[in-house]
């Protein structure tokens, strides 16, 4: 990797990570306040609706943002064409959601879903307006723009959500928080990014972009449905409170993984796309991404699983204790996300969206079969099945890169094994602190301090390559 590319990548990661940390930090505090004001059933309702909104947004974006980033010679005609198409199609999708809202409510026997779906459905149109601006920022590596837009949206939405909750608005506090976040984010990004669409629409350009994007669309659709299928199933066969516990259980590990993985995801794709003709360089960048990201993610997930109980009692009160097993299961599944991300971004970067789509079909088939087999045995068995499915899917994602980049799954596992084993050992020691019988706050403090010392000392003792790389990178970046 050349010095300029390396510096640009590190700068992009710093700004993207700062954006995610700032936003998620504020959202985390707000979520604690809201969790104390709202009931688990409120989160169950919003979690169910979010699934349908997310699916509609996938259709609205159509994979065209990725196509704009990946295309070598994308110009303003391409961006303008995608912009107008996305807005027009998102309006159509909103009206479909509007009409289907009563049927969704009837299927889940929750009449209160209808107005919530219709109001929250506006986020589909907002996402379409925002999507091309985001693609432009990614392509030009202006990740500082994301920082200010996301931070502004998060701060405003915090006041909106808490204000509605204190007024007794219930689930509408979560609706108001989500919508206001997207609206402010979009407005700030629109004001700070110089790109503006021309009044032009090229069918020829659209066809070319869609030839790449439709496979990403299908892949994203499969991924979105699958990632939310447990919410759909729990919402149908179990109670609203169970769904609320599950969604709350996902939130803590998701908070960490979103900060790190989304930063890697958005920065890695344009960087890898720029090196798509140099497969040796591409492999080196991908390997570095996997090793560095898992060096952070594995200990975070192992540590969070170990402190899940005292953390839940301290932050959310004992009424949320049923969410603890879900936190621990999700820590396991999310730990593998950096491996998924790096492999898939490399496949996209070399233009093989066809392989990307095939992988999604195979992985989701595995996941659905696992769900069907485990669903009748209860929620915990479903979670265990999801963990098994995660391991199999990680293997699927890595398989094509043995041929494309000469970087096999077993070579990838060898690269991440040191961090994985050290994290498991650290997590086991930290978990044992729960047996001492101290109060929740003191237990958690001891666990966090012990975990940091054990992992850092272990990485230094065994001379982890990732630790040396991070230290040297920080020194190089400071020197400019």
Over residues 76-95, the pLDDT tens digits come to 888 888 888 888 888 998 99
Query: What does the block give as tokens for 473?
Result: 């990178």
Closest C-alpha among 32, 79, 27 to residue 259: 27
- pLDDT value, residue 77: 86
pLDDT tier, 226 (very low <50, low <70, confident <90, very high otherwise): confident
For residues 36 and 19, the model is more confident at 36
Q: Of the ranges 35-49, 401-415, 452-466, which one carries the lowest mean pLDDT score?
A: 35-49
The residue with tokens 């109001």 is 119
> What distance in Å separates the CA atoms of residue 246 and residue 330, rounded to the nearest whole number?
9
37: how many CB neighbours lie within 10 A of its CB?
17
One-character DSSP codes across 402-450: HHHSS--HHHHHHHHHHHHHHHHHHHHHHHHGGGG---HHHHHHHHHHH
Q: How far is CA 107 from CA 54, 100, 170, in A?
A: 18, 11, 22
What mean pLDDT is predicted for residues 302-310?
94
What mean pLDDT is predicted for residues 293-301?
90
**pLDDT surpassing 90 at residue 301:** yes
> What distance in Å separates the CA atoms of residue 78 and residue 212, rounded to the nearest whole number?
13
CA dihedral 36, 37, 42, 43 (to 10 degrees): -40
- pLDDT value, residue 385: 94
**Phi/psi zone of residue 407: left (φ > 0), alpha (ψ -120 to 50 degrees), beta?**
beta
- pLDDT value, residue 456: 93
pLDDT tier, 19 (very low <50, low <70, confident <90, very high otherwise): low
**pLDDT surpassing 80 at residue 14:** no
- pLDDT value, residue 327: 94
pLDDT tier, 189 (very low <50, low <70, confident <90, very high otherwise): confident
pLDDT tier, 416 (very low <50, low <70, confident <90, very high otherwise): very high
Q: What is the DSSP letter of 199?
A: S
Mean per-residue pLDDT of the chain: 82
**pLDDT surpassing 80 at residue 137:** no
102: how many CB neighbours lie within 10 A of its CB?
14
Vertex 348: Cα angle to 345 and 353 (nearest 5): 140
**pLDDT surpassing 90 at residue 64:** no
Residues with Cβ within 8 Å of 303's Cβ and at least 6 positions away in sequence, in order, are 423, 426, 427, 430, 447, 448, 451, 455
CA dihedral 11, 14, 456, 395 (to 10 degrees): -90
Rg (CA), the chain: 22
- pLDDT value, residue 150: 77
SS3 (DSSP) at 350? coil
> What distance in Å separates the CA atoms of residue 463 and residue 467, rounded to the nearest whole number?
8
> What distance in Å separates the CA atoms of residue 443 and residue 309, rounded to the nearest whole number?
10
- pLDDT value, residue 179: 92
Question: Is residue 151 a contact partner of residue 19, using CB atoms and an 8 Å limit?
Answer: yes
Q: What burial class does residue 143 get, using C-beta atoms within 10 Å of its C-beta: 0-12 exposed, 13-18 middle, 19+ buried?
A: buried
Query: What does the block give as tokens for 319?
Result: 């009424």
Residues with Cβ within 8 Å of 209's Cβ and at least 6 positions away in sequence, in order, are 64, 67, 68, 71, 78, 81, 82
What mean pLDDT is predicted for residues 399-420?
90
Tell whether the torsion through CA atoms of 337, 21, 143 and 192 is positive or negative: positive
For residues 451 and 33, the model is more confident at 451
**pLDDT surpassing 60 at residue 13:** no
């Amino acid at each position: 990797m050349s010095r300029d590319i390396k510096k640009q990548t590190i700068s992009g990661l710093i700004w993207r990570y700062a954006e995610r940390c700032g936003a998620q930090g504020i959202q985390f505090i707000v979520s604690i306040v809201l969790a104390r004001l709202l009931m688990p059933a409120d989160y169950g309702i919003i979690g169910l609706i979010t699934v349908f909104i997310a699916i509609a947004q996938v259709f609205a974006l159509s994979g065209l943002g990725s196509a704009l980033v990946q295309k070598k010679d994308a110009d303003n005609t391409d961006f303008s064409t995608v912009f107008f198409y996305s807005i027009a199609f998102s309006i159509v999708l909103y009206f479909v959601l509007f009409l289907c809202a009563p049927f969704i409510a009837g299927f889940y026997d929750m009449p209160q879903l209808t107005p919530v779906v219709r109001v929250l459905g506006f986020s589909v149109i907002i996402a379409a307006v925002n999507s091309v601006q985001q693609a432009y920022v990614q392509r030009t590596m202006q990740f500082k723009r994301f920082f200010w837009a996301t931070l502004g949206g998060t701060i405003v939405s915090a006041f909106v959500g808490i204000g509605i909750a204190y007024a007794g608005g219930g689930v509408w506090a979560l609706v108001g928080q989500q919508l206001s976040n997207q609206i402010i984010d979009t407005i700030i990004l629109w004001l700070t990014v110089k790109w503006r669409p021309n009044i032009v629409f090229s069918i020829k350009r659209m066809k070319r972009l869609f030839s790449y994007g439709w496979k990403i669309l299908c892949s994203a659709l499969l991924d979105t449905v699958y990632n939310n299928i447990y919410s759909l199933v729990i919402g149908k066969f179990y109670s609203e409170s169970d769904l609320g516990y599950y969604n709350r259980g996902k939130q803590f590990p998701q908070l960490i993984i979103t900060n790190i993985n989304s930063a890697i995801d958005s920065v890695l794709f344009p960087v890898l796309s720029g090196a798509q003709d140099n497969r040796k360089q591409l492999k080196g960048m991908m390997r570095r991404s996997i090793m560095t990201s898992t060096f952070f993610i594995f200990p975070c997930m192992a540590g969070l699983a170990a402190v899940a109980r005292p953390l839940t009692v301290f932050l959310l009160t004992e009424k949320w204790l049923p969410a603890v097993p879900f936190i621990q299961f999700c820590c396991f599944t999310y730990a593998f996300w950096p491996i998924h991300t790096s492999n898939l971004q490399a496949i996209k970067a070399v233009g093989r969206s066809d392989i990307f789509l095939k992988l999604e079909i195979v992985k989701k088939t595995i996941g659905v079969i696992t769900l069907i087999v485990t669903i009748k045995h209860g929620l915990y068995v479903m979670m265990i099945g999801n963990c098994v499915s995660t391991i199999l899917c990680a293997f699927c994602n890595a398989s094509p890169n043995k041929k494309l980049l000469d970087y096999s799954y077993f070579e990838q596992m060898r690269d991440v094994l040191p961090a994985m084993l050290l994290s498991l050992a650290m997590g086991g020691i930290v978990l044992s602190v729960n047996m001492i019988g101290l109060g929740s706050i003191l237990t958690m403090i001891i666990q966090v301090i012990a975990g940091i010392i054990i992992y850092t000392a272990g990485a230094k003792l065994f001379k982890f390559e990732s630790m040396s790389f991070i230290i040297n990178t920080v020194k190089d970046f400071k020197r400019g």
